[in-house]
Amino acid sequence: MSVKECNSGDYLLVCAIDFGTTFSGYAFSMKHDYIKDPLSIATNNWIGQSLISQKAPSTVLCHPNGDFHSFGYEAEEKFCDLANDDKHHGWFFFRQFKMILHSQKELKRATLLHDHEGKSMPALDVFAICLRYIRKHLLDAVDKQGMTFKDNEVGWVITVPAIWSDPAKQFMREAAVQSGIPNAHLVLALEPEAASIYCKRLPIDRLAAGSTLPGFKPGITYMVVDIGGGTADVTVHKILSDGSLTELHKASGGAWGGTKVDQAFRRFLEKLFGSKVMKRFAEECHIDDFDLSMEFEVKKRKISFESTTQITMRIPANLMVLYKEVEKRTIDDVLKKNGFDDKVAIKGDKMRIDVKIFREFFTESIESIVAHVGDILQSPLSSDASTILMVGGFSESPLVQEMIRRAFPEKTLVIPHDAGTAVLKGAVMYGHQPKIVAARVSKFTYGINFHNAFDPKLHLKGKRVVIDGNVLCKDIFLKIVRVGDTLKLGEKRTNNFIDTFQSPDRKRMIEYCNIFASTNPEPTYIDDDNCWKLGHVAMLPPKNGWPDTIEGRVEMKFGMTEFEVTVFDEISGLEFNANFDMLQ
Q: What pLDDT shows up at residue 218?
A: 87
Q: In what order do the strands lie in the sheet with 68-71?
A: 68-71, 59-62, 92-95
Q: In what order do the strands lie in the sheet with 575-576?
A: 492-500, 549-557, 564-569, 575-576
Q: What pLDDT shows up at residue 210?
A: 44
List all residues 6 or more positions away from 457 whose beta carbon is below 8 Å from its beta carbon.
none
Q: What pLDDT shows up at residue 579?
A: 56
Could you read off the pLDDT of 509-562 as tens digits, one per residue? 888 888 899 999 999 999 999 999 988 888 888 888 888 777 888 888 876 777
| CATH number attached to the domain at 442-576 | 2.60.34.10
Could you read off the pLDDT of 245-273 as tens digits, one per residue? 999 998 999 999 999 999 999 999 999 99
Q: What pLDDT shows up at residue 385?
A: 93
The per-type count for the chain, helices as H runs and strands as E runs, is 15, 32
The span from the CA of 446 to the CA of 477, in Å, is 9
| Average of per-residue pLDDT values in the chain | 89
Q: Is it true that 4-206+421-436 and 442-576 share their CATH fold?
A: no
Into which CATH architecture does domain 4-206+421-436 fall?
A: 2-Layer Sandwich (3.30)
Q: What pLDDT shows up at residue 502?
A: 64
Q: Residue 565 carries which DSSP code?
A: E
Could you read off the pLDDT of 139-167 as tens digits, one per residue? 999 999 888 899 999 999 999 999 998 88
Provide mean pLDDT across the span 229-252: 92
Q: Residue 235's beta-bridge partner residues?
A: 224
Q: Is 78 exposed, middle or buried (0-12, 13-18, 19+ CB in 10 A)?
A: middle
* Sequential DSSP letters for 258-315: HHHHHHHHHHHHHHHH-HHHHHHHHHH-HHHHHHHHHHHHHHHHH--TT--SPEEEE-
Entry pTM: 0.88
pLDDT exceeds cutoff 80 at 86: yes
List all residues 6 or more positions away from 230 whose beta carbon is below 8 Å from its beta carbon.
20, 21, 22, 96, 98, 99, 102, 161, 255, 257, 259
Would you state the torsion angle of the CA atoms of residues 380, 257, 445, 127, taken in this order, to the nearest 10 degrees? -150
The span from the CA of 443 to the CA of 530, in Å, is 13
Q: What pLDDT shows up at residue 6?
A: 46
Cα–Cα distances in angstroms (integers) from residue 473 to residues 358, 450, 455, 459, 467, in the given order: 59, 8, 8, 7, 10
H helical segments located in 345-480: 355-360, 363-377, 398-407, 422-432
Q: Which residue has the higher pLDDT, 502 or 293?
A: 293
The span from the CA of 291 to the CA of 345, in Å, is 20
pLDDT exceeds cutoff 50 at 335: yes
pLDDT exceeds cutoff 50 at 1: no
Percentage, residues of the chain above pLDDT 90: 63
Domains in the chain: boundaries: 4-206+421-436, 258-360, 442-576
Provide the pLDDT confidence category of residue 9 given band limits of 50, 70 and 90.
low
- Which of 251-265, 338-352, 494-508 is predicted most confidently? 251-265
The span from the CA of 357 to the CA of 343, in Å, is 8
The span from the CA of 556 to the CA of 493, in Å, is 5
Provide the pLDDT confidence category of residue 294 given band limits of 50, 70 and 90.
confident
